[in-house]
C-alpha cells in the first residue's frame, strides 16, 4: 500500500519575518527586489526564505503588480526547424529575464478561436508573433486589447513592432557570392504562397543578379496551396524537377528560399546521381543547425536569432501595460560559406 505524503504547511511572509527578525514589510520589499533594502538585509531574508522552503505565489504577485510574467509566443508550422530554434532562443532568454513563455501554436490558415482567446485569458504581458499566415490577425487582437506585440521574422502590420533579418540584403549577398563563383544561370526554389520574408529574399537575389547582368531562368514552386510554409518535402520535389531537366537547361546554381528546402533539393539531386556542387550549386537561407551536417554543408545566410529575440523582449519590457508603436528593426544576416556551392576562384 502506498501512503500519501503529508502536505507541508505553506510558508508565509510572516514565517520568514519571524525567522529573519525583520518586519513583514521588509520581507515583502526584499523578495520583490526593492532597491531601498540593504544587501545584508536582502541576504538575511533570502536565506530565511530558502531555509523555510518558501516559494513565490506567482498568482498573488501578478494580481498585486498587474503583470502576469507571461509572454505569449505564437508559432505556426514546426515543419521548418528554424522555428524550433527560435522557440529555444526565446525560452532561454526569457528564463534569464525571469519571464515565462506560453506557447500558442497557430498551425495553418485562420487561427482557432481558443488560440485567440488564450491571448486574452492569460493576461499576457506581451506577445511574440512568428507564424506566417495569421500574423496580422494576432496583431489585430493584441492591438484591440492593449497587449504589446512584436512580430519576429515578419514585416509589421497595424501597430505591432517588428524585427527581422535584412532578407533582401541576404538575398543580394548570396547572388554576389554565386556570381563570384562563376555561375551564369540561376533558379529559385520556393513555396506556392510566399511570406513577406521569402518575397524580400527573392527580391534581393533577383535585383542583385540583374546588376551583374543575369536573371533567374527557372522558378520551382512546391508545397501546399495557400500555405506560406517551406518544407523539406517541397524542396525534394523541386530537386527532382531540376534533375529531370535536360543538362543544358539546368540552372548552374539554385537559391532555395529556406535551408530546409535547400536540404531537400540537395538530397533529391543526389538521389538522381547529380553532384553538389560539381554539377549544380545550392544555397539556402536561415542558418539552421541541420545545414551544418557534413552531408549537407550548406552555404547559407544565418539569421541573427539571438539579437532578434533580445530586441523583441526589450520592446515588450518597454511597452508593458501599453500598446506598442509601429517600429521596425532590420538586422544584417551572416553569409556562411560551406561546400554546397562552387567557390570563387580567388
Are residues 346 and 173 in contact, defined by beta-carbon separation less than 8 angstroms?
no
In a shared domain, residues 205 and 313: no
In a shared domain, residues 82 and 29: no
Owner of C-alpha cell 529559385 = 188
Confidence of residue 323 (pLDDT cuts 50, 70, 90): low
Are residues 102 and 71 in contact, defined by beta-carbon separation less than 8 angstroms?
yes
What 3-state DSSP class applies to 30?
A: helix
CA-to-CA distance for 329 and 288, rounded, in angstroms?
Answer: 21
In a shared domain, residues 191 and 244: yes
Within 8 A by CB and 6+ apart from 268, the residues are 235, 236, 237, 238, 239, 240, 242, 243
The pLDDT score that the predictor gives to residue 229 is 60
Residues 97, 101, 105, CA angle at the centre, nearest 5°? 150
Owner of C-alpha cell 488560440 = 115
Sign of the dihedral defined by the CA atoms of residues 295, 217, 242, 82, in that order? positive
> How far is CA 248 from its chain centroid?
39
In a shared domain, residues 143 and 205: no
Q: CATH number, domain at 45? A: 1.10.260.40
In a shared domain, residues 178 and 299: yes
Q: Which three cell numbers stand for residue 193?
A: 504562397
Least reliable range by pLDDT among 132-141, 262-271, 292-301: 132-141
Burial class (CB in 10 A: 0-12, 13-18, 19+), 284: buried
CA-to-CA distance for 64 and 99, rounded, in angstroms?
Answer: 17
- Taking residue 258's Cβ as centre, other Cβ atoms within 10 Å add up to 29
The DSSP string of 210-262 is HHTT--EEEEEE-S-TT-----HHHHHHHHHHHHHS-GGGS-SEEEESSHHHH
What mean pLDDT do residues 202-221 have? 97
What mean pLDDT, rounded, does the chain reach?
85
What mean pLDDT do residues 302-307 have? 98
Q: Establish if 340 belongs to a structural domain.
A: no
In a shared domain, residues 210 and 271: yes
Strands (E), the chain: 70-75, 100-105, 126-129, 149-152, 161-165, 186-190, 216-221, 253-256, 281-283, 300-302, 328-331, 334-336
User: Which DSSP symbol is given to 292?
Assistant: G
Least reliable range by pLDDT among 28-37, 82-91, 225-234, 307-316: 225-234
CA-to-CA distance for 218 and 260, rounded, in angstroms?
Answer: 19
Confidence of residue 8 (pLDDT cuts 50, 70, 90): low
Domain span including residue 32? 13-56
Q: Establish if 43 belongs to a structural domain.
A: yes
Of residues 253 and 37, the one with the higher pLDDT is 253
What mean pLDDT do residues 191-209 have? 89
Whether the bond between 123 and the residue before it is cis, its omega within 30 degrees of 0, is: no
In a shared domain, residues 194 and 275: yes
Q: Which three cell numbers stand for residue 58?
A: 506567482
Q: Establish if 297 belongs to a structural domain.
A: yes
In a shared domain, residues 105 and 159: yes
pTM for this one? 0.80
CA-to-CA distance for 346 and 343, rounded, in angstroms?
Answer: 8
Tens of pLDDT, residue by residue over 123-136, are 788 999 887 655 66
Of residues 271 and 46, the one with the higher pLDDT is 271
Is the predicted pLDDT of residue 192 greater than 60, yes or no?
A: yes
Strands (E), 1-94: 70-75
User: Which DSSP symbol is given to 290?
Assistant: G
Q: Establish if 6 belongs to a structural domain.
A: no
* Cα-based distances in Å from 1 to 4, 9, 198, 292: 10, 24, 61, 53
Is the predicted pLDDT of residue 53 greater than 90, yes or no?
A: no
Q: CATH number, domain at 209? A: 3.40.50.2300
In a shared domain, residues 278 and 171: yes
Number of separate domains in the chain: 3
The pLDDT score that the predictor gives to residue 224 is 60
CA-to-CA distance for 308 and 331, rounded, in angstroms?
Answer: 8
Tens of pLDDT, residue by residue over 99-116, are 899 988 765 555 556 666
The pLDDT score that the predictor gives to residue 158 is 59
In a shared domain, residues 156 and 183: no
In a shared domain, residues 199 and 249: yes
Amino acid at each position: 500500500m502506498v501512503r500519501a505524503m503529508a502536505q507541508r504547511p505553506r510558508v508565509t511572509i510572516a514565517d520568514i519575518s519571524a525567522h529573519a527578525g525583520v518586519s513583514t514589510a521588509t520581507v515583502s520589499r526584499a523578495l520583490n527586489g526593492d532597491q531601498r533594502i540593504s544587501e545584508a538585509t536582502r541576504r538575511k531574508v533570502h536565506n530565511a526564505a530558502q531555509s523555510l522552503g518558501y516559494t513565490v505565489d506567482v498568482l498573488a504577485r501578478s494580481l498585486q503588480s498587474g503583470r502576469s510574467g507571461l509572454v505569449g509566443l505564437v508559432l505556426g508550422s514546426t515543419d521548418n526547424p528554424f522555428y524550433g530554434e527560435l522557440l529555444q532562443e526565446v525560452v532561454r532568454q526569457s528564463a534569464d529575464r525571469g519571464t515565462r513563455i506560453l506557447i500558442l501554436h497557430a498551425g495553418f490558415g485562420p487561427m482557432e478561436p481558443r488560440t485567440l482567446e488564450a491571448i486574452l485569458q492569460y493576461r499576457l504581458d506581451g506577445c511574440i508573433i512568428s507564424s506566417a499566415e495569421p500574423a496580422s490577425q494576432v496583431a489585430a487582437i493584441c492591438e484591440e486589447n492593449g497587449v504589446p506585440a512584436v512580430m519576429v521574422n515578419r514585416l509589421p502590420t497595424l501597430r505591432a513592432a517588428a524585427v527581422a533579418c535584412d532578407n533582401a540584403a541576404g538575398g543580394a549577398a548570396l547572388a554576389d557570392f554565386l556570381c563570384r563563383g562563376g555561375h551564369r544561370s540561376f533558379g529559385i526554389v520556393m513555396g506556392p504562397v510566399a511570406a513577406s520574408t521569402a518575397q524580400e529574399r527573392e527580391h534581393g537575389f533577383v535585383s542583385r543578379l540583374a546588376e551583374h547582368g543575369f536573371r533567374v531562368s527557372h522558378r520551382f514552386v512546391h508545397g501546399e496551396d495557400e500555405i506560406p510554409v517551406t518544407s523539406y518535402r517541397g524542396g525534394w520535389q523541386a530537386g527532382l524537377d531540376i534533375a529531370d531537366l535536360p543538362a543544358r537547361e539546368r540552372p548552374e546554381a539554385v537559391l532555395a528560399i529556406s535551408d530546409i528546402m535547400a536540404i531537400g533539393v540537395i538530397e533529391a539531386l543526389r538521389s538522381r546521381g547529380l553532384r553538389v556542387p560539381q554539377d549544380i550549386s545550392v544555397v539556402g537561407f536561415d542558418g539552421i543547425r541541420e545545414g551544418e551536417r557534413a552531408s549537407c554543408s550548406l552555404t547559407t545566410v544565418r539569421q541573427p536569432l539571438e539579437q532578434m529575440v533580445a530586441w523583441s523582449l526589450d520592446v515588450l519590457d518597454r511597452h508593458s501595460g501599453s500598446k506598442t508603436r509601429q517600429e521596425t528593426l532590420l538586422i544584417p544576416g551572416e553569409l556562411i560559406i560551406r561546400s554546397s556551392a562552387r567557390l570563387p576562384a580567388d
